[in-house]
Amino acid sequence: MSTSFASKSLPVHLARGAIGFGLIAASIALAPVVGWASLLALPVGVLALRGCPTCWAIGLVQTLSRGRLERTCEDGQCRISTRGS
């Protein structure tokens, strides 16, 4: 199972989300006040989310399930189970 969007810990992942979503919202909300310059924060916010809000959400699920779920494949059939069961 690829964990390319997962973070090392839940607090790190949540901080990345807060920074990313905050910068995206700020860049849109400040556009009428600051002008086009506020959109410079948009790519930084997307970078913090590792590409898109969906990528961040997938990473959140991967971070939460890391070490708890196990994928096993036998005879062409794959199953996901909790570790140890």
Q: Which residues, in sequence order, are CB contacts of 38 under 8 Å at separation 6+?
A: 26, 27, 28, 30, 31
Q: Would you say residue 67 has pLDDT above 80? A: no
Residue 11: how many other CB atoms lie within 10 Å: 10
Residues 4-46 pLDDT 10s: 778 888 899 999 999 999 999 999 999 999 999 999 999 999 9
Q: What does the pLDDT read at residue 57?
A: 92
Q: Which residues, in sequence order, are CB contacts of 27 under 8 Å at separation 6+?
A: 38, 39, 40, 41, 42, 45
Q: What does the pLDDT read at residue 51?
A: 85
Q: Compute the distance between CA of residue 51 and CA of residue 17 in angstroms, rounded to an integer.
A: 12
Q: In angstroms, what CA-CA distances link 8 with 5, 33, 69, 75? A: 10, 37, 16, 33
Q: What does the pLDDT read at residue 1?
A: 47
